[in-house]
Amino acid sequence: MERGWWDAPVPVLLGSGFTVHHVNNNHQAADILLNRWPAQGGAKHRAARQAVLSAYGAGSRSDAAGEGTQGVL
């Protein structure tokens, strides 16, 4: 499956040390949102998951997925 590279990376703070991860494709975003997100998210988290999974499942490059994760990732 295509990773769906984004035009610009989205910085994400994860872990107790708040390590910055620069997410720049659908595959990385899906991994974080589905497997490494620290707690149940709210409406923005669900919207980001939906945007990333829709783009990832379509197998297309999607800057909309990156934009959909702004403020959540």
C-alpha torsion sign, points 36, 26, 10, 69: negative
Q: Which of 8-12, 23-27, 55-59 has the lowest mean pLDDT?
A: 55-59
Does this model's pTM top 0.75? My answer is no
CB 21 within 8 A of CB 11: yes
In the block, tokens 């974080």 appear at 32
Q: What is the pLDDT of residues 30-57, one digit of tens each?
A: 898 888 887 777 888 888 888 887 876 6
Average pLDDT, the chain: 76
Q: Report the pLDDT value the prediction gives residue 61, as an integer from 0 to 100.
A: 43
The more confidently predicted of residues 32 and 60 is 32
- C-alpha distances (whole Å) from 9 to each of 16, 63, 73 are 22, 10, 10
C-alpha–C-alpha distance, residues 54 and 48, integer Å: 10
